[in-house]
Amino acid sequence: MEKIKQNAFVKKVGFNRIILVAVMLLMYLAFGAMTGGKFFTVSRLMNIFNYVYFLGFLALGVTFVIATGGIDFSIGPVMFCCALVSGYSFYNHGVPMGLALVLCILVGLLFGVWNGYLVAYVKIPPFIVSMASMNMAKGIAAVFTKTQSVSWPQSSEPAGWYRTFVKSGSFPTGIVLFLAVAVICAIILNKTKAGRYILCLGSNSEAVRLSGVDVKKWTMLAYTICGILVGIAAIFYVGAYTTVQPGYGDQYNNEAIACCVMGGTSMAGGIASIAGTVIGTLIISLLQQGILALGFSKDYQFIITGFIVIGAVYADVSARRRKN
């Protein structure tokens, strides 16, 4: 075992990540076997991808926030708020599709700035801020749409071009875009000043502040990046499913956070892995589709996701304790 861990390739890629990929493949095969091969169809794969897109963008976003040692429980409802506000504007206020998509990201951005400002400058704990934002997002969406659900245009309609972000003909464009954004996120986190300071302040914000760094600015930036990615997630959500309803979205908070912690991002802050988040997203999406394919209701998935969050955080905490 130790020998494997010391192998140069294993060290570079990370032992835990290899295990995660193995778990993912095993899960895929297991679900395939249990459903008598039905799981291996192209349409099922597309379903999994659809789930990966929006969940993946949410998870990428919240990775930045968790890296600072914070948390954001508003991402799911904010995503719905983005999709509802912009979709409603498209139908009822004559906003062209292109602008609606910009509006969608803008709403996410504004929530990110708002959360980030309150956490960094007003010093309200992230937990409280995001809980409040979660309800505000639901409220704003409901008031704006007069509690009506919004169905975005179908692919056949002229304004349906936005769906090519998800699927162009039978080609899953979404997976390419998702991976591209993930690479950009990884570059931001690992190669830029912003990423460096976000990780450092997540590990010890006081030491970073006393080094003369504007800790507030960088904290707020992390939440802002998260907000933008939540806006993008909203586009991919409607791109895959078209219909959004006010008052929902909570369940995706837990799932997105599960993707992060499973991928090795530490809830204590300071340690984050974009590659890990991507793999985590694939596993959670597989799980979701697998459970549905086996004929269980989505409620079972909530239970399992809950256990995954606790298990992953426990593993992180106990690894930390062993180190000390």
Partner 1 sequence: MGDVILTMKGIDKSFPGVHALDHVDLEIRKGEVLALMGENGAGKSTLMKILTGVYSKDSGTITYEGKEVEFKNTREAQDAGVVIVHQELNMLGHLTVAQNLFIGREFKNGIKIDDKKMIEESKKLFDRLNVDIDPTEIMSNLTVGKQQMCEIAKAVSFDAKVIVFDEPSAALTESEIEEMFKIIRDLKKKDIAMVYISHRMDEIKVITDRVTVMRDGTYVGTLITKDCTKEDIINMMVGRVIYEDPKTHSMVPADAPVVLKVENLNAGKMVQNVSFELRKGEILGFSGLMGAGRTETARALFGADPKESGDIYINGKKVDINSPQDAVNAGIGYLSEDRKRYGIVVQKTVAENTTMATMHEFMSGLFINKKKEKEVAQKHVDALATKTPGVDQLVVNLSGGNQQKVVIAKWLTRNSDILIFDEPTRGIDVGAKNEIYKLMNKLAAEGKSIIMISSEMTEILRMSDRIVVMCEGKKTGEIDISEATQENIMNLATREIN
Q: What does the binding site for partner 1 look like in residue numbers (CB under 8 A)?
A: 187, 191-193, 196-197, 199-200, 203-204, 206-214, 270-271, 323
Q: How far is the CB of 316 from partner 1 (least distance, A)?
A: 13
Q: How far is the CB of 190 from partner 1 (least distance, A)?
A: 9
Rounded to whole angstroms, the Cα distance separating 57 from 96 reads 24
Report how far Cα 121 is from the mean position of its chain's Cα atoms.
Answer: 25
Tokens of 161: 């071009």
User: What DSSP designation does 73 have?
Assistant: S
Q: How far is the CB of 217 from partner 1 (least distance, A)?
A: 10
Name which of 124 and 268 has its Cβ closer to partner 1: 268
244 three-state secondary structure: strand
Name which of 2 and 206 has its Cβ closer to partner 1: 206
Residues in the chain, total: 324
Tokens of 80: 């719905």
Q: How far is the CB of 203 from partner 1 (least distance, A)?
A: 5
Q: Which residues, 6 or more positions from 137, have their beta carbon under 8 angstroms from its beta carbon? A: 74, 77, 78, 80, 81, 111, 249
Q: How far is the CB of 208 from partner 1 (least distance, A)?
A: 7
Q: Which residues, 6 or more positions from 42, have their beta carbon under 8 angstroms from its beta carbon? A: none
Given a contact cutoff of 8 angstroms between Cβ atoms, the answer to whether 281 and 48 are in contact is no
Name which of 246 and 264 has its Cβ closer to partner 1: 264
Angle formed at CA 81 by CA 167 and CA 138, multiple of 5 degrees? 140
Q: How far is the CB of 119 from partner 1 (least distance, A)?
A: 18
Q: How far is the CB of 291 from partner 1 (least distance, A)?
A: 36
Name which of 38 and 191 has its Cβ closer to partner 1: 191
User: What DSSP designation does 152 have?
Assistant: P
Name which of 41 and 211 has its Cβ closer to partner 1: 211
Half-sphere exposure (Cβ direction) of 46: Cα atoms closer than 13 Å: 14
Name which of 7 and 211 has its Cβ closer to partner 1: 211
Q: Which amino acid is at 294?
A: L
Name which of 271 and 292 has its Cβ closer to partner 1: 271
Q: How far is the CB of 239 from partner 1 (least distance, A)?
A: 29
Rounded to whole angstroms, the Cα distance separating 235 from 153 reads 12
The residues with which 171 forms a beta bridge, in sequence order, are: 168
Name which of 133 and 205 has its Cβ closer to partner 1: 205
What separation, in Å, do the N-terminal and C-terminal C-alpha atoms of the chain show? 23
